[in-house]
Amino acid sequence: MLRGFASVTSAEDSARSRTILKLIAVERTARGLLLGAAGIYLVGHLGMDYGKLAERAMRAVELDPHRHFLHRIVLRLHNLRSHQLLVAGVAAMGYGVLELVEGIGLWLDQLWAEYLTAIATSLLIPVELYAIVRAPSIWKALGLAINVAIVAYLVWLLRRRALRRPRCD
């Protein structure tokens, strides 16, 4: 009984595919941990003035926080309210948990994790495209390219596996 269940949940991929999936798993796990930590920090520091923190950080790396671009960032951070920080913190923790589940599942060679990662990542591609159109940056473009490559690879892998599987007609 359990042996049949293992064949449904375990992806049993080739060594090359496993290596690529392990790299994706490490990326997802690292991102999940970072998001979780950021969310916990935000929720734990709702009353903090992030504008002052940004000013100190900029001065520490010898940037002038009064330059137009940097000053706009500092002003936005000064104006953050605790309810905004709470929503952002909870969202970051929730998304971090999703990323951790994806990463651990991929690391453990679970088929459901491949589906989850492909679906969850593809659902956020339109949001990433919108963010790039509103405010283009090389980092956003790089993140989008990585996520598109991950989705394309996982879809290819899942489709190849489906075509290999014998039919029960």
Of 88, 108, 128, the last residue of a domain is: 108
Q: How many beta carbons lie within 10 A of that of residue 167, not counting itself?
A: 4
Asked whether residue 42 falls in the same domain as residue 52, the answer is yes
Q: Residues 9-15: what's their mean pLDDT?
A: 67
Asked whether residue 89 falls in the same domain as residue 118, the answer is no
Distance of CA 8 to the CA centre of its chain: 26
Residue-wise pLDDT for 14-32, tens only, equals 788 889 999 999 999 999 9
Question: Is the pTM for the entire model greater than 0.75?
Answer: yes
Q: Residues 134-148: what's their mean pLDDT?
A: 94
Distance of CA 47 to the CA centre of its chain: 27
Residue-wise pLDDT for 86-135, tens only, equals 999 999 999 999 999 999 999 999 999 999 999 999 999 999 999 999 99
Residue-wise pLDDT for 41-71, tens only, equals 999 999 888 989 889 998 899 888 888 888 8
| Domain membership flag for residue 5 | no
Two structure tokens written together for 44: 């734990």
Asked whether residue 78 falls in the same domain as residue 122, the answer is no
Asked whether residue 26 falls in the same domain as residue 76, the answer is yes
